[in-house]
Amino acid sequence: MSTNSEKWALIPSDPAVFEDMIQQYGIEEARVKEIFTLDLLDESKDNTDVHGLIFISGYVEETLPDDFEKPDPLASDIVFTAQLVTNVCATLALLAVLFNANINKGPILNRFLEYTKSFSPINRGMCLGYSQEIRSIHNAYASNANHIAEDAMDVSVEDGNANYEVVDAENYHYISYIYNNGYVWELDGLKNQPLRLKQCTHENWVAKVKPIIQERMQDRVDVSLLAITRNNYHTKLKQKNAYESYLRLSKEAIRKKLAKSTISRRKKAFFEMIYDADIQHHDKMKDIWTLLHNQDYTSAEAMTDSFAMEIDPFNRQSYNCRNEGDVKLCVARRAGALEGISAAECVLRKMNETIMLIIDTNPINVSKDTRVPVVSKDVGGLRDQSFQGTTEALIQRKPGCKNWFHTKCTTIKDPPTTLFVTNYHFECHNCNELNVEIFERTIAGWKDICTAALANLALEAILLQIGSDNKELLESKNEVLMEQWQPEQHYFNKKDLIPFVDKHWDSLCTERSRTPTWWATLGSCLYSAKDVFVARDESERSAASDFRLADANLWHIRPQSGGLTPRLSNKRKELSPEPNGSMTPTTPSPRSSSPAPLTPSTVPAVFPQGGSANTDHPFNRFGFKYSPCEPSILPLIAYRQAENSLGGCTISIPDKSSYVSVTKDGLTVTTDKGFRMCRANVGVKEGSWFWEARIQNAAGPASDGAHVRIGFARREACLNAPVGYDAYGYAYRDKTGDKMFCSRPEKYGEPFQSGDVIGLYISIPPKNKAKFQSALRRRIPIAYKERFWFEEKDYRPSKEMEALADPYRKEKEDDYEPKKLHGSFITVYKNGVNQGVMFTDLIDYEDFGRLPETIQAKRAKKKRKQSKKDHSGNAIKDDFDSVAQHWTDDPPVEDDGTLGYYPAVSVFKGGVVNCNFGPHFQYPPTDQKDWKPLSERYNEYMVEECVWDLVDEVSRSFRHKKN
């Protein structure tokens, strides 16, 4: 096969992918179903709605019949396409079924078939390869974690750079089976024509395929079977649309009849009648309906006016809606079946005090799938049962507040549309200083997703239990009935949850990419989250067990206050010093008293659930580090480092402890654990640089509560410890104002607390290098969660540097003495006041202890050992040879362009720090000269990356010419 100039990418063989492709083609009469057991293919099963089967397995050569090369006259009616393009096999197998199915094939495929109706299979396959419409739909599913872009180059270390060589996984083969002209046909794009298999009928052809598939499967486990079936939902939808069309005509006829006998004011009275929530006026309403049915409009109007006087029409004093128009928007359909009037609509009211009944002549088609509750304001659970196609969703205010609001009564856009969704943060205009509504969807954790799915399934089971005639039992005043319904008896398997999550993916899984194995992650979450989900049999708990919520009471589901921001101690009182501009000193001095901070009025930081602004990323750990990458315009290096998606210099999302939470702008950090650390995404090697840390929550001198340490750290510093814990970082401590190095505190400056602004200044003189040396980068492009990342070995602490932090280390004459950056220093400012020089002569960031000598000796020993064993004269495998493993156990001991000192922040149990990397500062260092804001360092770093890319490209081109 030849590869087309416009490449077709490799896509996963996931049924959800095929299902979505069918929708993209504009086909409504087909859907995809995965076959998990061949028993479903038995003749006793009704498979008349199956358009075709797709069998997926590893490629195996097979023997064809002797007369296969002869054209089969019975195959003339079959649309067959030869495979001439690499990676098109998945789409080709799907099209083989759709082309031959008796359905409306949509505009895209109809155009293709019309254009190629007289083509041979080879010409049709060539035309498919150049079809921009079909190829773009195919390539839209190419981003997955199972492959790397095909233009990545081979691995090499001559110039210190290693790129990933694509090692193709086992080639999967797609074969389609269809029924045509009384036979089962096998459509394989690698063959020159369809293969006729067995004679059959339309009713039993699927059963005839079963032994063929069994023979192909044999003992293989890497197989999959998909069925392209009729979309029964679409058929029912067409029937429903036809019925609704009839109802619309009836509705117009009724309205015309009403218009002849009543004025508009009288019609409004008929369409806006009020009755009490407890249905105490039900008899009076029936009398009004009877008068309407008998067309006695005068009497009906009089009774309506009398009835309306008894109840406040809009009850504005007890309802949060702003005006009458908003009230009318809060409509929930209610089932009704009376002659002459087909349905009624009710407006839900706060605290269930009143309900507005709006007569609508459009009947309501009530089904089990549309029975959904509305959330209550007072207890955060279910409210009146609402039988309608869509739910008026309600949202809860900020954590700690138990009030609820109808989404229609707010100004937010894109509110939650599925019940029990809790991954959001909302504040009304009364709950924040800016007097505005704040709504933000947070990343959906798998616990949130599973909880919402289990709750909705449990609700459906309860509705079947109590029946639709008792819908008033779901009002909030009947909360105690939940215990009688025993929701804890309803268990569900992940097979029950997967269809629900798949159907409501956009609403449930906010900002979460749909990976091919998301269903496995869902099962793992059910299994591992023992505090949230209970298995039917805990002694045999597994991902395949049946689960329910640990707290099965659906009224208790609400946005968790501890999920959005770390839970802080209730004993601690926030320390917020009063602004006092008069205390600002005219001449800062190392020991002068720092002024009270000028704290601006800001919106509190919102920390997403999941610990970071984006959970779809790898973490720097296990000796590896990661940075985002993208395809490069340079042909040989293939990939380059991508720009920071958060913009400029921020906290590095991969380069932090997994327990640290970062806001979406990448500038504010916190944790609910012990001391954890994070670093900025760029470090400094030389020059004078400055940045500020705004302390939003720190107890300062208080012994209990949140704490903060800030400073600078190298790449080797431990992320699950505070800054200054080891010999790789220097820190300033909030509690005492001490400076920290190797966990040893020394008296330095003033303590700091919430509201203070700490400025950090570092100066490193340039190194005298005798010759130019390029960055030695060894990195591999990988795909992770639908994004490309560079994976490379990270720097490892040396024993000599770890010994410096050992408090029991004995002084010896032969102790290792680290290299110093003479003339370097760190200075700290508190609210603009210079606290003095904190550290001088910093340890050289290129000091790796004795690791280089150890690694060199280890490699020499390995080389000697290998040379003794290699009697055949074969060349010794390089550490990055494509035949050998991609990585050795040795850490890097040369600069890859990322060495240096990084701004570092460590937080403790609720400590919150906002980082300001410039260019504008609240207290810039006026006593320093020729310094730069750290934000400029990010631009310099990206320029350096471009330079190293060019150097690598030139070096690689010379090597290619040499070869």
pLDDT band at 922 (very low <50, low <70, confident <90, very high): very high
pLDDT band at 219 (very low <50, low <70, confident <90, very high): low
- CA–CA gap between residue 400 and residue 359 (Å, rounded): 39
Which of the given ranges, 375-384, 608-617, 637-646, 876-885, has the highest pLDDT on average? Answer: 637-646
Of 647, 667, 548, 540, residue with least CA distance to 602:
667
According to DSSP, the β-strands at 651-656 and 661-662 are unpaired
Of 474, 239, 481, residue with least CA distance to 376:
474
- CA–CA gap between residue 600 and residue 245 (Å, rounded): 59
SS3 822: strand
> CB within 8 A of 217, min separation 6: which ones?
57, 223
Q: 649 an active-site residue?
A: no
According to DSSP, the residues that pair with 50 across neighbouring strands are 229
For residues 697 and 613, the model is more confident at 697
- CA–CA gap between residue 547 and residue 533 (Å, rounded): 6
Question: What is the set of domains in the chain, with CATH numbers?
Answer: 15-160+169-230 (3.40.532.10), 256-527 (no CATH), 616-767+778-808+821-848+893-949 (2.60.120.920)
Reported as a single tens digit per residue, the pLDDT across 179-197 is 988 899 999 988 888 999 8
| pLDDT greater than 50 at residue 557 | yes
Q: Are 189 and 96 a contacting pair, CB within 8 Å? A: yes
- CA–CA gap between residue 845 and residue 686 (Å, rounded): 11
Surface-to-core class of residue 747, CB atoms within 10 Å of its CB (0-12 exposed, 13-18 middle, 19+ buried): exposed
> CB within 8 A of 717, min separation 6: which ones?
677, 679, 723, 725, 726, 728, 729, 904
- CA–CA gap between residue 151 and residue 878 (Å, rounded): 23
Q: How far is CA 317 from CA 273, 323, 351, 402, in A?
A: 19, 11, 12, 19
According to DSSP, the residues that pair with 670 across neighbouring strands are 661
- CA–CA gap between residue 208 and residue 210 (Å, rounded): 6
| 326-336 as b/e: b if 16+ CB within 10 A | bbbebbbbbbb
pLDDT, mean of residues 56-67: 76
Mean pLDDT across the chain: 74
Q: What is the pLDDT of residue 184?
A: 92
pLDDT band at 48 (very low <50, low <70, confident <90, very high): confident
Reported as a single tens digit per residue, the pLDDT across 248-300 is 665 565 555 555 544 444 434 444 443 333 344 556 666 766 666 666 666 76
Q: How far is CA 197 from CA 40, 64, 155, 179, in A?
A: 20, 11, 47, 10
- CA–CA gap between residue 216 and residue 662 (Å, rounded): 51
- CA–CA gap between residue 303 and residue 617 (Å, rounded): 65
Q: What is the pLDDT of residue 334?
A: 29
According to DSSP, the β-strands at 687-697 and 912-916 are antiparallel
Report the range of poorest mean pLDDT among 77-86, 250-259, 795-804, 886-895: 250-259
- CA–CA gap between residue 902 and residue 925 (Å, rounded): 19
Q: Are 447 and 560 a contacting pair, CB within 8 Å? A: no
Residues in the chain, total: 963
CA atoms 941, 947, 949, 952: torsion sign: negative
Reported as a single tens digit per residue, the pLDDT across 715-764 is 999 998 999 999 999 999 999 999 999 999 999 999 999 999 999 999 99
For residues 136 and 400, the model is more confident at 136
> CB within 8 A of 812, min separation 6: which ones?
none
Report the range of poorest mean pLDDT among 230-234, 237-241, 334-338, 468-472: 334-338
For residues 137 and 68, the model is more confident at 137
Q: Are 225 and 34 a contacting pair, CB within 8 Å? A: yes
- CA–CA gap between residue 821 and residue 928 (Å, rounded): 20
| pLDDT greater than 80 at residue 207 | yes
φ/ψ of residue 4, rounded to 5: -65, 155
- CA–CA gap between residue 477 and residue 575 (Å, rounded): 42
pLDDT, mean of residues 460-482: 70
Q: What is the pLDDT of residue 600?
A: 43
> CB within 8 A of 233, min separation 6: which ones?
31
User: Which residue of the set 89, 409, 428, 525 is catalytic?
Assistant: 89
> CB within 8 A of 337, min separation 6: which ones?
343
| pLDDT greater than 50 at residue 64 | yes
| pLDDT greater than 80 at residue 533 | yes
| pLDDT greater than 70 at residue 313 | no
Q: What is the pLDDT of residue 649?
A: 94
| pLDDT greater than 80 at residue 685 | yes
Report the range of poorest mean pLDDT among 585-589, 685-689, 834-838: 585-589
| pLDDT greater than 60 at residue 88 | yes
Q: How far is CA 185 from CA 54, 206, 228, 297, 559, in A?
A: 12, 11, 15, 68, 54
Q: How far is CA 349 from CA 281, 346, 480, in A?
A: 17, 9, 21
Q: Are 827 and 834 a contacting pair, CB within 8 Å? A: yes
Q: What is the pLDDT of residue 670?
A: 92
- CA–CA gap between residue 429 and residue 193 (Å, rounded): 69
Helix (H) or strand (E) holding 304: helix 297-310
Q: Are 172 and 57 a contacting pair, CB within 8 Å? A: yes
Q: Are 485 and 470 a contacting pair, CB within 8 Å? A: no
| pLDDT greater than 50 at residue 317 | no
Of 388, 405, 389, residue with least CA distance to 326:
405
Surface-to-core class of residue 606, CB atoms within 10 Å of its CB (0-12 exposed, 13-18 middle, 19+ buried): middle
Q: What is the pLDDT of residue 215?
A: 84
Which of the given ranges, 185-199, 557-571, 897-911, has the highest pLDDT on average? Answer: 897-911
pLDDT, mean of residues 862-886: 55
pLDDT, mean of residues 501-520: 80
Q: Are 549 and 476 a contacting pair, CB within 8 Å? A: no
Q: Are 639 and 631 a contacting pair, CB within 8 Å? A: yes
| 312-321 as b/e: b if 16+ CB within 10 A | eebbeeebbb
For residues 775 and 549, the model is more confident at 549
Report the range of poorest mean pLDDT among 102-111, 325-334, 453-462, 749-758: 325-334
pLDDT band at 703 (very low <50, low <70, confident <90, very high): confident
- CA–CA gap between residue 727 and residue 741 (Å, rounded): 6
Q: What is the pLDDT of residue 715?
A: 92
φ/ψ of residue 822, rounded to 5: -65, 135
pLDDT-above-90 percentage for the chain: 23
φ/ψ of residue 585, rounded to 5: -75, 150
Reported as a single tens digit per residue, the pLDDT across 430-466 is 776 666 777 777 777 888 889 889 988 888 888 887 7
User: Which residue of the set 173, 234, 281, 886 is catalytic?
Assistant: 173
Q: What angle do CA 914, 920, 925 make, to 5 degrees?
A: 90
Report the range of poorest mean pLDDT among 290-294, 338-342, 478-482: 338-342
φ/ψ of residue 393, rounded to 5: -70, 150
Q: 428 an active-site residue?
A: no
Q: What is the pLDDT of residue 829?
A: 96
Q: What is the pLDDT of residue 877?
A: 46
Q: What is the pLDDT of residue 740?
A: 94
